[in-house]
Amino acid sequence: MEDNLNHRPLLSHVEPVLAVSNVMETIAYWQDIIGFPDRWFYGDPPNHGGVSWQGGTFMQFAQNAELAQQCKGQSVWIRARNIHSLYELHQQRKANIVAPLESKPWGHHEYTLEDNNGYSIHFSAPYSSDLIGEKALASEIKILAKAPSLKDFNRLMDAVGWVPGEGREVKKQLTSTAFAVVAQHQPTKEIVGCALLMGDGVSFYYVKDVMVHPRWQHQRIGTAMMDAIMQWAEKNVPDKSTIGLFTGDQLAGFYKQFGLTQACGMFKQIHRK
């Protein structure tokens, strides 16, 4: 029987639901101490609620004091970016850090804090995604904040098997980016990768044409370029802006490490004769 992709099950989101002794006190702790920016609650008085962090991390809390006592010591594991900055934030806010930040043998930097209900919250980041280039990017590769030239862009497009556009349109695109980076091989000055961030300057930005020359793939160049794009965006785009991109399922895991989450959408290409 032919597999119908439209009916294949797809898991797109998960939220732990923790039993707590007081919903509003727990929400306040996760906002004021742990740093989750958004919240919601339900009931009068509230008996259910939750917090979220932009990028796809969500927690729910259910009022159940008896079960909360039984669940003390249970764990939640959260993958993070820029974990050193997060650790400093939790130190400044005097979170109950029960295990300090350290390098683990399974390839992650990790630390643990205990929340107001006694749950252990583990924050973890792979070595390779913690800082741009640290223990990941070859020393002869440098990430530069600039758009590629038309010649370099088309050369990369051809190398990765994409169809280059018309020269005039591509040149206009390259000069109208909100931000762009290239990866340059320092000894030869060859541009071996690029990534573009387009945007309206108000609320929507689009990651486009993330390319690494096949001779240089699987060497963390794409990771370093995306890190640079997202770090610039976090500092410079307006608050509450949305950043999107198109990609296949096989690359979804790569982009998730930068805080991007899968979402439903629709699109149409205009083809003129």
Rounded-to-integer distance, Cα 156 and Cα 214, Å: 9
- Answer whether the bond into residue 45 is a cis peptide, omega within 30°: yes
33 pLDDT above the threshold of 90: yes
Q: Give the Cβ contact number of residue 111 at 10 Å.
A: 23
Asked if residues 50 and 40 have their Cβ atoms less than 8 Å apart, the reply is yes
Using alpha carbons, list the distances in angstroms from residue 55 to 5, 149, 256: 27, 32, 8
The secondary structure of 96-108 as a DSSP string is EEEEEEEE-TTSE
Provide the CATH number for the domain formed by 12-130 in this structure: 3.10.180.10
Residue 272 pLDDT level (bands cut at 50, 70, 90): low
CB 193 within 8 A of CB 221: yes
168, two tokens: 């005039």
CA–CA distance, 42 with 260 (Å, rounded to integer): 28
Query: Each residue of 179-219: pLDDT tens digit?
Result: 999 999 999 999 999 999 999 999 999 999 999 999 998 88
Q: State the CATH architecture for 141-256.
A: 3-Layer(aba) Sandwich (3.40)
Contact indicator for 87, 123 with CB cutoff of 8 Å: yes
* CB of 196 closer than 8 Å to CB of 246: no
Residues in the chain: 273
How does pLDDT run across 50-92, given as a tens digit for each residue? 999 876 799 999 999 999 999 999 999 999 877 888 999 999 9
- Distance of CA 26 to CAs 14, 38, 45, Å? 20, 13, 14
What's the predicted TM-score (pTM) here? 0.57
Q: Where in the chain is the domain with CATH 3.10.180.10?
A: 12-130
pLDDT value at position 114? Answer: 97
Strand partners, 216: none
CATH 3.40.630.30 positions along the chain are: 141-256
Which pLDDT score, from 0 to 100, does residue 137 have? 72
**Are the C-beta atoms of residues 61 and 48 closer than 8 Å to each other?**
yes
pLDDT of residue 4: 59
